[in-house]
Structure 1
Amino acid sequence: MATSCSPTSTFRCGAPSAPPSSSPPTPTPTPSAAPPMPRRPPPVYCIQPASCIQPSCVAPASCFSPRGLFSSKSKKDRNKPKPKPDIGNQVSPLPELMAEPTDARSMSFVGTHEYLAPEIIKGEGHGSAVDWWTFGIFLYELYFGKTPFKGSGNRATLFNVVGQPLRFPESPAVSFSARDLIRGLLVKEPQHRLAYKRGATEIKQHPFFDGINWALIRCASPPDIPKPVEIERPPVPPVAATSAAAAGEQKGSGNYLEFDFF
């Protein structure tokens, strides 16, 4: 069937003509048209090299999100002036790696009586804090030449470890930082003992170790290098000539052969 073109018609040769007004036509959705799909937020990617090792205590520093590629912010939000960050909050403290099993418990009763911690003697179960108690006993012995709780016997020593307070002799003179370190290590309650919470980090940060670079500790020279001592061997008594002569004069008899004794 042919399409006719009338002068009064709003259609021209089957095609719609432009509306008289300057406003654009409002599209009328047809019943068969599907509803518009909701816009999904752009995905966030994490680019990470294969050699990146992330312990649980270290915040990942090599992962980043390409926010410039997938940005849902409008131009107005991007043009707003950003607040200046506080200089004091820019530097965050470095994470600490504590590898000591401070929560592990044991019921074993082993060790030298003078070095046993009170919790071992009581049989209440102990953790890694007993090692720091032993370290304190060792430092005390290095300074004063004896252990602090030694008794007349093993039983008396154990009683002293549990019930006797720590005392320092008047001589030799020891610095305050050394006494403070030993006093912190020889606290009878393990939960209040030095290095109980953060392990060796607390020991390294004590004033007793001020000026020590722990990263280069193997390259540092010790404060006191002992002089080498040559130990002379005791003189060997000369071999008696008579015994050598007697050995040479021995002769075999019968079916025995003669031997030279060296």
Structure 2
Amino acid sequence: MLGIIYRDLKPENVLVREDGHIMLSDFDLSLRCAVNPKLVRSANPTVDPKNSNYCIQPSCVVQPACIQPSCFVPRFMSKSKKDKKPKPKSKPKTEIYNQVSPLPELIAEPTSARSMSFVGTHEYLAPEIIKGEGHGSAVDWWTFGIFLYELLYGKTPFKGNGNRATLFNVVGQPLRFPDTPGVSFAARDLIRGLLVKEPQHRLAYRRGATEIKQHPFFQSVNWALIRCATPPDVPGPSMENGGVDVKPSGNYLEIDFF
């Protein structure tokens, strides 16, 4: 939404706030671009807007998986005994969901921006940056794929014995998944889509974050309310006075940041 190509996503730059939500740091390599939001698909509810028997509130219409059926059942107004009729059988949930079309689909990120700069960290560089072909926002989705791979497997997929070997692997070696630990098919499919070497075929190249949000890996995420969601883990302070906890251990210092 802000038109920023970050270009340096890696674990060191992702911080966990005190409320458990995450934030990015270190925008030194970022590129600010002009953004023209574009409406890809508008919402066309099948329910007649003139019909006041139905309520379609923004808080209810989030995603099919999050729809509350109570928001879409008829509101039976108080009537006289003569006007009262037997209540029709309630519709199955699938029918209720079908009454509501998806929310408008909006692209508001620099999908067409281009840069020739060679910036980033070797293990996270996208192939188009290494080749010097110019790059756009697709490099962030490549880096996001590397980031997810490292979170799940504990290492990056193309790391070599040195920087030169790493760059060669990024450009020339295929993506491989270790046998262990076991990772879901949806997670591997997401990473595979993000780590396509040709940016024009990479997941999110055309529609940006919209494509990522619609991937099965994130099917249980309510994106509209993500800022209000309770994180799975909320870190607590490890010492009362705050700061940095430095513990001597042999010839090294163990530094715990929080």
Q: TM-score range by the shorter chain?
A: 0.5 to 0.7
Residues 170/227 of structure 1: CA separation in 2 closer, same or farther (3 Å cut): farther
Q: 2:216 aligns with which of 207, 230, 245?
A: 207
Figure out how many residues of one structure are paired with residues of the other and give that number. Answer: 154
Q: 2:232 aligns with which of 212, 223, 226?
A: 223
Matches within 5 A, 1:66-215: 94-215=103-224
SS of 1:121 mapped into structure 2:
helix
Larger relative contact order, structure 1 or 2 (CA cutoff 8 Å, min sep 6):
2
Residues 93/139 of structure 1: CA separation in 2 closer, same or farther (3 Å cut): closer
What CA distance in whole angstroms lies between the structure 1 residues aligned with 2:161 and 2:187?
27
Kindly state the Cα deviation for residue 227 of structure 1 after the two structures are TM-superposed: 6.2
SS of 2:139 mapped into structure 1:
helix
Residues 227/155 of structure 1: CA separation in 2 closer, same or farther (3 Å cut): same
Kindly state the Cα deviation for residue 221 of structure 1 after the two structures are TM-superposed: 1.6
State the partner residue of 2:20.
Answer: none
SS of 1:124 mapped into structure 2:
coil
Unmatched segments (≥5 aa) in structure 1:
1-54, 62-89, 236-262
Residues 93/141 of structure 1: CA separation in 2 closer, same or farther (3 Å cut): closer
Which moves more between the two structures, 167-176 or 219-228? 219-228
Paired AA for residue 170 in structure 1: D
Residues 143/94 of structure 1: CA separation in 2 closer, same or farther (3 Å cut): closer
SS of 2:135 mapped into structure 1:
coil
Paired AA for residue 193 in structure 1: R
CA RMSD of aligned residues (A): 2.9
Deviations 1:105-150 (A, max 9, x none): 1111011111100011111111110000001111111111111100
User: Going by fraction, where is strand more abundant, 1 or 2?
Assistant: 2
What CA distance in whole angstroms lies between the structure 2 residues aligned with 1:234 and 1:199?
44
Deviations 1:20-54 (A, max 9, x none): xxxxxxxxxxxxxxxxxxxxxxxxxxxxxxxxxxx
- Using structure 1 for the length normalisation, give the TM-score: 0.53
- Using structure 2 for the length normalisation, give the TM-score: 0.53
Kindly state the Cα deviation for residue 223 of structure 1 after the two structures are TM-superposed: 2.6
What CA distance in whole angstroms lies between the structure 1 residues aligned with 2:197 and 2:224?
32
State the partner residue of 2:10.
Answer: none
SS of 1:97 mapped into structure 2:
strand
Report the identity percentage: 82
Kindly state the Cα deviation for residue 176 of structure 1 after the two structures are TM-superposed: 1.0
Unmatched segments (≥5 aa) in structure 2:
1-36, 45-98, 249-258
Paired AA for residue 215 in structure 2: H
Residues 113/94 of structure 1: CA separation in 2 closer, same or farther (3 Å cut): same
Kindly state the Cα deviation for residue 96 of structure 1 after the two structures are TM-superposed: 2.0
What CA distance in whole angstroms lies between the structure 2 residues aligned with 1:170 and 1:227?
34
